[in-house]
Amino acid sequence: MAHHQILIVGGGAAGLTVASQLKRARPGLEIAILEPSPDHYYQPGWTLVGAGVFSLEQTRRAEADLIPEGVRWIRAAAASFDPAAGTVASSDGETLHYDALVVATGIKLCWDRIKGLPEALGSQGITSNYSKNLVDYTWQTIQAFSGGNAIFTFPDTPIKCAGAPQKIMYLADDVFKRSPAVAAATKVIFATATPGIFGIPTFAEPLRQVVARRGIEPRYQHTLKEVRAASKEAVFAVKDGDTVREEVLPFGMLHVTPPMAAPDVVATSPLAVAGPGGWVDVDKFTTQHVRHPNVFSLGDVSSLPNSKTAAAVRGQAPVLVANLLAHLDGQPLAARYDGYACCPLITGYGRVIMAEFNYDGQPVPSFPLDPTQERWSMWVVKKDVLPWIYWNRMLKGYQHERRFMPGVAH
């Protein structure tokens, strides 16, 4: 029966960042990361893989090379949580005790909530940048597309990187427009369950202009329910006031963003919020669990009510680390997370609106520039600077650039 001072469940963007920051703050801490995957991917790069800018391999690193020195890596998954006993059961059958627990398992992609989708993915122009197994197929599909409806969907649940479903749409539209014949034969449709283009008003307005300029047809309150691969039809439930009607749209290409939720092992545990999603129930300012004071959570699996992005993790991690150390010391939890998140909204090849905002939906730009403008400079930041910061600074626990660019991660 193993005991760890700090047990981190999930060695992704959040788990690795927290482990590194903790080790920098207190090298003597005894920390273990429970993580089953041999590889870690820079998921924010997948939009650019799907658009032929990066290869998938450029977004991959061996997990072993990212585990901070002095941290124990347990290559297994969490099978269950027992916060009352202060234990996590691993998929290897081990019971792991902890003084403090950090839950950072990321999000579950619920492909099977859409009828006909799991078996159709990767064929007939049906794809998704949300799976590493499909990003190359997205690029093949965009290049081979010769006309018809190109439909890009957005589901009726919280998702990671809420901008990603439309970023790939703008990039695809650029490619379609390179051929006048394809452009003339194509209708690009953004079919979203949401009532508007983007949840933050400051950035919704410029996006509405991008959609109008490109001639893209937004269809709001459209939730994808079924994919008929053989006949290449997408079936939507469309909210119309108090009623819901069915709409069937033919497609030549379908980019699906699936519904998302916390992984089952979290959602069915005593750590979960009551209600949909099953996220880890934490205080939105301190990241501490609301019922179990020695449990903290951040990243996509947490109930933190902001945009689920790696950039948000960069804002959350120092707060969690400061509060977790205060908890171990028996001190009050003083650090507070302001909801910082960032979504570099790619609006075409060479153009990005760097959307950074807080819990109040207020812009919090890291650069002294109007953040609502599409910029080539922000494309360079997205494509070249942010991946470098991710691998060399964020995952290694450095925060120095926050002095110059307070929230920059992605």
* 299 lies in the site for ligand FAD, by CB under 6 A: yes
Angle between helical axes of 135-144 and 164-177 (0-180°, round to 10): 30
Contacting residues for 395 by C-beta, under 8 A, at least 6 apart: 13, 16, 17, 20, 66
| Number of residues this chain uses to bind ligand FAD (CB under 6 A) | 40
Q: Give the Cα separation of 35 and 23 in Å (integer).
A: 18
* 9 lies in the site for ligand FAD, by CB under 6 A: yes
* 29 lies in the site for ligand FAD, by CB under 6 A: no
Please tell me what DSSP assigns to residue 56. G
161 has catalytic annotation: yes
* 308 lies in the site for ligand FAD, by CB under 6 A: yes
**In the bound complex, what is the minimum distance in angstroms from residue 404's beta carbon to ligand FAD?**
19
Question: Is 14 or 256 the residue whose CB approaches ligand FAD more closely?
Answer: 14
- Scanning 66-130, the segments in alpha helix (DSSP H) are 117-120
Identify residues 97-116 at the interface with ligand FAD (CB under 6 A).
104-106
Of 343, 346, 354, 409, which residue is the catalytic one?
343
Identify residues 141-170 at the interface with ligand FAD (CB under 6 A).
160-161, 164
* 14 lies in the site for ligand FAD, by CB under 6 A: yes
Q: Strand ranges (DSSP E) for 64-174?
A: 72-74, 78-82, 87-90, 95-103, 108-109, 126-127, 148-154
Of 14, 49, 161, 261, which residue is the catalytic one?
161
Tokens of 231: 């006949």
Q: Give the Cα separation of 365 and 205 in Å (integer).
A: 17
* Burial class of residue 291 (count of CB atoms within 10 Å of its CB; 0-12, 13-18, 19+): exposed
First-residue to last-residue Cα distance in the chain? 39
Q: Judged by CB under 6 A, which stretch of 5-13, 139-147, 171-179, 397-405 contacts ligand FAD?
A: 5-13
* 11 lies in the site for ligand FAD, by CB under 6 A: yes
* 44 lies in the site for ligand FAD, by CB under 6 A: yes
Q: Map residue 64 onto helix, strand or coil.
A: helix
Tokens of 140: 């093949």
Residue nearest to ligand FAD (CB): 12
**In the bound complex, what is the minimum distance in angstroms from residue 124's beta carbon to ligand FAD?**
21
* 88 lies in the site for ligand FAD, by CB under 6 A: no
Q: Give the Cα separation of 120 and 268 in Å (integer).
A: 29
Question: Is 90 or 221 the residue whose CB approaches ligand FAD more closely?
Answer: 90
Question: Is 104 or 193 the residue whose CB approaches ligand FAD more closely?
Answer: 104
* 37 lies in the site for ligand FAD, by CB under 6 A: yes
* 310 lies in the site for ligand FAD, by CB under 6 A: yes
Nearest residue to 239 via CA among 164, 156, 160, 152: 156
Q: Give the Cα separation of 363 and 347 in Å (integer).
A: 18
Binding residue for ligand FAD, selected from 313, 333, 378, 389, defined by CB under 6 A? 313
Q: Judged by CB under 6 A, which stretch of 3-11, 24-32, 274-282, 323-331 contacts ligand FAD?
A: 3-11
* 23 lies in the site for ligand FAD, by CB under 6 A: no
343 has catalytic annotation: yes
Q: Cβ–Cβ contacts within 10 Å for residue 330, how many?
A: 6
Residue pair 282/303 in contact by the 8 Å Cβ criterion: yes
Active-site positions? 161, 343
Contact residues toward ligand FAD (CB under 6 A) are: 9-15, 34-37, 43-44, 46-47, 77-78, 104-106, 129-130, 160-161, 164, 263, 265, 299-301, 308-311, 313, 342-344, 409-410
